[in-house]
Amino acid sequence: MQAARGAAVDPAATPDDRPSRRRTWSLFTLVALVVYAIDLGTKVLAVDRLSGEPDVPLVGDLLVLRLVKNPGAAFSTGTEYTVVLSVLSIVAACVVVVLSLRLRSRLWALGLGLLMAGVLGNLTDRIFRAPGPMRGHVIDFLMLPNWPVFNVADMAINGAAALILVQAFRGIRLDGTREGEHEHKTKKNTKEHE
């Protein structure tokens, strides 16, 4: 069957042209896996190449490599709560997986994929690095002027936060609808049936 403009009709296409759950979940999974792999790979390289070494300037003083083993959260806060941070990370990862099952928005898929990668990247360090499971120190190695040392997982979490805020301000839900869109459609359908 052909559409009015001559293109083939996709029987799975939605009238409002939102991507399918399968496609957005695939995007979420791809982003999470790729960024998680990049985070792990860069941490392995940082530990291998920067252990016992002085700071390595990459872009003058603007971007410097410095190996730091962080037992706490952002800005090295909460260093005595490493186990609690690990448990919170596990809970956060589970919540992200549940939310990902409702995805029909590419930007939400990208944001949640970045969030999952960041959470899992730092959680992996907490589980598998010294001093022991759930107490491991997170590997940080990127340093900007007047900013704490960070890693790829931290960048992914910050990127996710930015995308999630954009979607929230735009009023876009996980399923790709706008705030109030469902109510508007319900009212319109009710009027049509009266």
CA–centroid distance for 16 within its chain: 26
Is residue 121 within 8 A of residue 129, CB to CB? The reply is no
End-to-end, the C-alpha distance of the chain in Å comes to 33
Phi, psi of 141 (to 5 degrees): -155, -5
The reply to whether 39 belongs to the active site is: no
Catalytic residue among 10, 16, 154, 175: 154
Instruction: Write the DSSP string, 112-154.
Output: HHHHHHHHHHHHHHHHHSTT-TTTPPEEEEEE-TTS--B-HHH
The reply to whether 154 belongs to the active site is: yes
Q: Which residues are catalytic?
A: 140, 154
